[in-house]
Amino acid sequence: MKGAGGRENGKFGGHSFGGGLTAAARSIIADARQTLTDPDPSDAETVHELRKAFKRWRAMLRLLVKPLGEQAVQMRAEARDLMRALSLARDAQSALDALADLQKGAGTDAGLSARSMDTIQQRLTALRDAAEQTSVTEEMRAQLLHYLDNADLALGHWPLHAIKFDVVAEGLNATYRRARRSIPDDWHDADNEHLHELRRRVVEHRHQMDLIAPLWPRLALVWTEEAQRLRNRLGACQDLAVLRTLTAPRQPLSPWRSRMAPMIEARRAAHLKTAERLAGRLFAEKPKAFRRRIAALWTAHEAKKR
């Protein structure tokens, strides 16, 4: 996370811990604003970068619910609603990503000809372009910029500099616990909604852990990379679910349903097998042990400052 990393003189990027939170929050807002005002990225890239920035922002707001109260809750809800307005464009891109994943996984055993693949890709690209025209509008950009202006203004009044590490640590532990509880008992039988919920929790955990990365730079790198790998696998399953929906009767890809269904299922199974292994490693500790680990890191960090 830009603005959240680095350690200087025992502080977070030259700041106290609370100051580090402020710097991280401003960095997220700046990244989102730059995406909206940069004339170069395509609409697909704009949607991707905005969703990424807003996920970071919502993960931070969840950590700040206890010290900030209702304002953090309301701003999280507003950010969620704004991102839902971009969901159609994102879903179409997800289907394209899933198609590329199928090609990668199938290799020479693909059940579809190159001509069929090209036709499917053209249809999905047309869907994405149409969705972007109705979602990434000037009106939508104005709404997003208005939200960022309000967030920047609110940030100037939040007492982040006074927030103690223990408050954030409790939030980190709560997110870890939620993610751990979301792990399926049986991965093979897990439905898409369950996997989507787990992915949301993993994304939130990954972004929150970025905030304390300066406490344990080497271990944090391994931890967040592991979380990202799990996130990617679960995201691939979500993309495949979107693609499968488009093969249903009277949907754009229905002519290829019989040939695509086994390919989708096989690729999903491969991702789930890896996801199960990654989740087992990432969430091996019980929440109490995870909380003790965070406390020990903070104690060691403070000891170095003396």
What band does 97 get if pLDDT is binned at 50, 70 and 90? very high
In this predicted model, what pLDDT tens digit does every residue of 181-237 receive, in sequence order?
999 999 999 999 999 999 999 999 999 998 888 777 777 889 999 999 999 999 999
The rounded percent of the chain whose pLDDT value lies above 70 is 92
* Local confidence band at 40 (pLDDT 50, 70, 90 cut-offs): confident
6 has a pLDDT exceeding 70: no
The residue extents of the domains of the chain are 164-306
pLDDT-based confidence at 247, cuts 50/70/90?
A: very high
3-state secondary structure the chain: CCCCCCEECCEECCECHHHHHHHHHHHHHHHHHHHHHCCCCCHHHHHHHHHHHHHHHHHHHHHCHHHHCHHHHHHHHHHHHHHHCCHHHHHHHHHHHHHHHHHHHHHHHCCCCHHHHHHHHHHHHHHHHHHHHHHCCHHHHHHHHHHHHHHHHHHCCCCHHHCCHHHHHHHHHHHHHHHHHCCCCCCCCCCHHHHHHHHHHHHHHHHHHHCCHHHCHHHHHHHHHHHHHHHHHHHHHHHHHHHHHCCCCCCCCHHHHHHHHHHHHHHHHHHHHHHHHHHHHHCCCCHHHHHHHHHHHHHHHHHHHC
Say if residue 304's pLDDT is above 90: no
Q: What per-residue confidence (pLDDT) applies to 229?
A: 97
pLDDT at 108: 44
Rounded mean pLDDT of the chain?
A: 88
**Least confident span in 5-19, 155-169, 172-186, 228-242:** 5-19
